[in-house]
Amino acid sequence: MPRKQPTQADYSALAEFRYVLRRFLDFSEKAARKAGLTPRQHQALLVVKGFRNGAPISVGDLAERLIIHHHSAVELTDRLVEAGLVVRLPDPHDQRRVLLSLTEHAEAFLAELSGAHLDELSRIRPLLGSFFDPDALAATKSGAPSKDA
C-alpha cells in the first residue's frame, strides 16, 4: 500500500516535534554538565538504573541501549568506574560476563538529574500531545489556545 503524501500540517508537526526534542536534549545536556557529568555519562547512568527495573546490566546491553559500539561502551564503563559512579560485578550465571551497577554517589547524581528532567517533561508535556492534532498545532503556531484548552 503506498504511503500517503505528507501534508503541510504533517511537515509542521514533524518540524515542531523535532524542535521540542532538540530543546529537551539541550536542557538535558546542560543539566548533566552542571552536575559535573558529561551527557553520555548521564545517559549511561540512566540506562544502568532503568534497565529491567534496576537489575544489573551487561556492557553489551549498555552499548545497545546507548546505540554505541561495544568497545565504546567498555571505554565509557572504564571512565565511569574511575569516577566512582559504577562498579563491575561478576555475573553469577555466566562467568564470561561482567555486570554494571551504580554506586551510591551515582545514585545521588542521577536522582537530582532525573528530578529536574521529570520537571522539564511535565513542563513540555502539553506540547508533546499536540503534535499530530492539526487544530492544536495551528493554535501553537498562531499563539492562540487550542479548542481543547
Count of H helices and E strands in the chain? Answer: 6, 3
Lookup result for grid cell 530543546: 23
Cell numbers for 72: 565504546
Residue 134 placed within a domain: no
Residue 43 and residue 66 in contact, taking contact as beta carbons nearer than 8 Å:
yes
In a domain, 78, yes or no: yes
pLDDT tens for each residue of the chain, 149 residues long: 788 899 998 898 899 999 999 999 999 999 999 999 999 999 999 999 999 998 889 999 999 999 999 999 999 999 999 999 999 999 999 988 999 999 999 999 999 999 999 999 999 988 887 776 656 555 545 554 444 43
| Structural domains in the chain (count) | 1
Structural domain harbouring 16: 9-129
Does pTM surpass 0.75?
yes
Question: Which CATH number does the domain housing residue 52 bear?
Answer: 1.10.10.10
Beta strand residue intervals within 20-144, DSSP E = 57-58, 86-90, 98-102
